[in-house]
Amino acid sequence: MRNLIGIVLILIVASGVFLCLDNIPFGASRENVGDFYNSSGVKQTGAVNMVTSVVLNYRGFDTLGEVTILFIASLGLGAVLSTVKTSSREETTPSSLILSTGCRFLFPFILLFGTYTFLHGHLTPGGGFQGGAIIASGFLLRYLGCPAKRTNPSLFVALESTGGLVFTLIGLLGLTLSGFFLFNFLPKGEANTLFSAGIIPVIYIAIGFKVGAELAGIIDGLIVKS
């Protein structure tokens, strides 16, 4: 009976949604802010990846909010799991020599790949969040493959706070130098080179470290405390 009511409600909502979607043809171009970003983005921001210029320059404040949300998640995890005793795990089978050596061998390469992704965020698809997630997956590999090595959680906390603070301070610096928060005040350079696009690579480096440290800290908290 409950399932039937649910399905009827869903059908009603679906028909309403369909009426609305009728006005939005799939694959047609919208001519408004999107076209403006595509046509004058390179000149105004210096980055060749338009998504990066939207994320960090035109809508940079949203990115600051997003970085804050990840910070809240890691703080909330610390607060909720703070009184859980670290469980004494029963002795699982220690990993074989091939597995643990392989994991330790791959770890620096994964970190390198993640760093490449966030460093070139303004030139190729990628950026701080994607690079940070790759770095965190390297840490996850190490936790699963050779569980004996643990990283000090204080390192993660220090890195994430510093990353967030750097982002906000760059914004405030832009405010004092030119009257707009998050103004792109460093020289824009020549498009398509590594040292271009003003503050965008700097912010992405800060975000890359922050997100990597945060996700690795979340993984560390969940593995250790459960």
Partner 1 sequence: MVNPVLLLAVPLAAAFSIPLLGFLSKRSGKFIPLLAMAFNLAVSISLIPAVIQKPIVVSLGGFPPPFCITLFVGPVGILFTAIIALVGFVVSIYAMDYIREGARQQYHALFLLLLTGATGVVLTGDIFNLFVFFEILCISSYALVAYTGDRAGIESSCKYLIQGSLGSAFILIAIALLYGQFGTLNMADIASRIDSASPIRLFIPLVLFITGLGVEAAVFPLNAWLPDAHSSAPSTISAILSGIAVKIGIYAICRVIFTIFGATDISLFLMLLGLLTLLVGELSAFRQSDIKRMLAYSSTGQIGLIFFAMGVGTQAGITGGLFQFTTHALSKSLLFLATGYMIYRAGSKEISSLEGMGKKMPLTCLAFTIGAFSLIGLPPFIGFPSKFTIVYSVLAEKSTLYIVFIAIVLTGTVIEGAYFFRVIQAIYFKGEKEKGEGREAPLIALIPLVILTLLIIGIGIYPKILSGILNSSASELLDRIGYIKEVLR
Partner 2 sequence: MNFLNSYIFYIGAFGLIFIGIYILLTRKNLIKMIIGLSIIDTGVNLLLICMGFLKKGTAPIFSRPGIKPENMVDPTPQALVLTAIVIGVAVLAMALSLAIRLYQHYGTLDMRKIKEQKW
183 binds, among partner 1, partner 2, none (CB under 5 to 8 A by kind): partner 1
CB of 96 to partner 1, least distance (A): 38
Of 100 and 168, the one with the shorter C-beta distance to partner 2 is 168
Tell which residue, 139, 107, 133, 109, has the closest CA to residue 121. 133
**Residue 67: count of CB within 10 angstroms of its CB:** 22
Residues binding partner 2 (CB under 8 A): 2-3, 6, 10, 14, 17, 21, 24-30, 33-35, 37-39, 41-42, 48-51, 53-55, 59, 62-63, 65-66, 69-70, 72-74, 76-77, 80-81, 84, 123-125, 127, 129, 191-192, 215, 218, 221-222, 225-226
Q: Which of 48, 50, 66, 140 binds partner 1 (CB under 8 A)?
A: 66
- Residue 123, both tokens: 């030139």
From partner 1, partner 2, none, interface partner of 161 (C-beta below 5 to 8 A by class):
partner 1
Binds 55, which of partner 2, partner 1, none (CB < 5 to 8 A, cut-off by type)?
Answer: partner 2
Please tell me the distance from the alpha carbon of residue 224 to that of residue 219, in angstroms, as a whole number.
8
**Number of residues forming the site for partner 1 (CB under 8 A):** 58
Rounded Cα gap, residues 89 and 224, in angstroms: 9
The answer to whether 134 touches 114, Cβ cutoff 8 Å, is: yes
Please give the structure tokens belonging to residue 222. Answer: 């969940």
Measured distance CA(218)–CA(215) in Å, rounded: 5
Nearer to partner 2 (CB atom), residue 41 or residue 138: 41
- What residues have CB less than 8 Å from 2, skipping those under 6 apart? none
Q: What is the nearest approach in angstroms of partner 2 to the Cβ of residue 205?
A: 17
Task: Output the smallest distance, CB 222 to partner 2, in A.
Answer: 6
Question: What is the maximal distance between C-alpha atoms in the chain?
Answer: 66
Structure tokens given for 74: 């890691």
Using CB under 8 A as the binding rule, whether residue 34 contacts partner 1 is answered as yes
DSSP 8-state code for residue 9: H
Q: Name which of residues 116 to 175 contact partner 1 (CB under 8 A).
A: 154, 157-158, 160-162, 164-165, 168-169, 171-172, 175
